[in-house]
Amino acid sequence: MHGPTELHILERLLEDNEQLASHNQEHFDELGLLAVNLMSAPGAGKTSLIKSTAKLMPADCPIAVIEGDMVGELDVERLREDNIPAYQISTGRACHLDAQMVAQLLHTTKLPDCKILFLENVGNLVCPAEFPLGEHLRIVLLSITEGDDKPIKYPVIFHNCDAVIFTKSDLLPFCKFSLEKAKDAISSLNPAVEFFVVSTISGDGLPQWRNWIVEKANKKISHLHIGL
């Protein structure tokens, strides 16, 4: 019997995901589209935001959606009701999309011509932050009903994103939610972040968000979000 041997190494875990994410981004770049990872807790209104945004899109800026859910196709069906091209990824036991799931879909599905591809992640403020998909932009939604303390409780996802969209702003008068407090907490983690305050019920804030994302798509200002 030989004695134990110590292998001193330095291997980054999840590196495989990061390499696949780079591969996906090359794919998105070849297709000439802006890939946007939409992340939030369950029920913050990601699908509603996409549906409302689609209605305001200029004709020369079509969108498509890759929809990540653990089970079922309910959100894809909601999007297709509005004739939005949408493709389901069922993640099964996984609580997030990963780059492999997106790569598999990209290699088996011909996406329609579009300028913006929304990657609607599984509703979760923790795990999606750790798995880049190859996106150019990372957007986090925080609904008014969730509470203004969430940025401090879930700092990683708010640290590593390009914009935060406060949704369900029509409920502000009925909730103890301080926009100022939430923005201050997010700014302490991520001073360069953009903010939008929207309601898909009243339509407030949607044109500003639409203008920003269309401008990003047109300029295709991309930031590689592989690791930090």
Partner 1 sequence: MHETAIAKAILDRITDRLNNLHHASNATAVEVRVGEFRNVDPESLSFAFDSLKKEYPTCIACALNLELIETRALCKDGRHEYKASADNAYRCPNCGSAIGTLVSGKELDITKIVVSQNK
Inter-residue contact 133 to 98 (CB < 8 Å): yes
If one asks whether residue 70 binds partner 1 (CB under 8 A), the answer comes out as: no
Q: Which stretch binds partner 1 (CB under 8 A): 76-84, 163-171, 187-195, 209-217?
A: 187-195
Shortest gap between Cβ of 105 and partner 1 (angstroms)? 18
Shortest gap between Cβ of 83 and partner 1 (angstroms)? 34
If one asks whether residue 10 binds partner 1 (CB under 8 A), the answer comes out as: yes
Inter-residue contact 77 to 154 (CB < 8 Å): no
End-to-end CA distance of the chain, in Å? 44
Shortest gap between Cβ of 153 and partner 1 (angstroms)? 8
Structure tokens at 44: 């913050």
If one asks whether residue 173 binds partner 1 (CB under 8 A), the answer comes out as: no
Query: Three-state SS for 220?
Result: coil
Nearer to partner 1, 2 or 219 (CB): 2
Nearest to 121 by CA among 156, 75, 83, 154: 75
Shortest gap between Cβ of 184 and partner 1 (angstroms)? 8
Q: Which stretch binds partner 1 (CB under 8 A): 6-14, 54-62, 135-143, 161-169?
A: 6-14
Q: Which residues in the 80-139 window bind partner 1 by CB under 8 A?
A: 93-96, 98, 126-127, 129-131
Residues 6+ apart with CB under 8 A from 85: 64, 65, 111, 112, 114
Structure tokens at 172: 């502000």
Structure tokens at 165: 């969209």
Nearer to partner 1, 154 or 209 (CB): 154
Residues 6+ apart with CB under 8 A from 164: 139, 140, 141, 142, 158, 186, 193, 194, 195, 196
Shortest gap between Cβ of 169 and partner 1 (angstroms)? 24
If one asks whether residue 43 binds partner 1 (CB under 8 A), the answer comes out as: no
Positions in the binding site for partner 1 (CB under 8 A): 1-14, 16, 93-96, 98, 126-127, 129-131, 152-153, 155-156, 159, 185, 187-191, 227-228
